Amino acid sequence: MPKRMEGAARASAYWRQPVTVPVAVDSLGLDGDRVGNNRVHGGPEKAIYAYPLSGYAGWQADFPAIAAQFVPGAMGENLVVDGLDETSLCLGDVIRCGTATLQIAQIREPCSTFAAAMGTNAVVRAMVRTGRCGWYLRVLEAGMIAAGDGHDVIDRPNPAWTIRRFTPIAAGLAGTQEELAELALLPGLSGYWRTKLDRRLAADLRGTP
């Protein structure tokens, strides 16, 4: 249930609770999940947010004063994934999890709610710098997901485009015109990023910032 978070502009459903029973998944995400700000969160291309378990060690090392806060669930994720991360998964990957079929649609971008949850704006800059962002999934086939289910790649249409390769481009820190053009046509990439990349490519071609 969305609630007011100190330092946040509006009510948020950022914090999630672990579950031990199978949960139904449909095109808008997990049954019982709630979104506080529908303008920037939720929807079919942000139906499920997954975060790698291995990412937490980096956060703990970078922010020792608040290391105890960086535990599974701290990113507001729906799924904690063990054994895979932004360097081993690609944009557009089709994932089998439980009886559901999912697809990586886009990266997570840091926001003010993340900063409020951690108590410092520095985490926003750190997520951009490190690329420890996790990934949003659309639901291709509804099903059931339970703790312990795999996060198995069953199709990889874009093997050259790991999430980690994309993150500096998404932040505007890298990206040639050729890369932007390729990304804008990438199978499985969200419409949000297709539009954003098209606009950036057009601006680059005009020579405007």
Mean of pLDDT values over 10-28: 80
Task: Say if residues 184 and 197 touch (Cβ distance below 8 Å).
Answer: yes
Checking if the pLDDT of 134 tops 80, the result is yes
Please report where in the chains the tokens 């999890």 appear, as a residue. 97
> Over the stretch 157-202, which tens digit does the pLDDT of each residue have?
999 999 999 999 999 999 999 999 999 999 999 999 999 999 998 8
Residue 14 confidence class, pLDDT cut points 50, 70, 90:
low
3-state SS assignment for residue 45: helix
Q: Which tokens hold the place of 53?
A: 């378990």
Average pLDDT over all residues of the chain: 90
DSSP type of residue 1: -
Checking if the pLDDT of 11 tops 80, the result is no
Task: Spell out the domains of the chain, with CATH numbers in brackets.
Answer: 3-157 (2.40.33.20)
Q: What pLDDT is recorded for position 67?
A: 98
**CB burial class (10 A; 0-12, 13-18, 19+) of residue 155?**
middle
DSSP type of residue 66: G
Residue with the larger pLDDT of the pair 134 and 112: 134
CA distance 189 to 196: 11
Helix residue ranges, H only, 53-133: 55-62, 112-118, 122-130
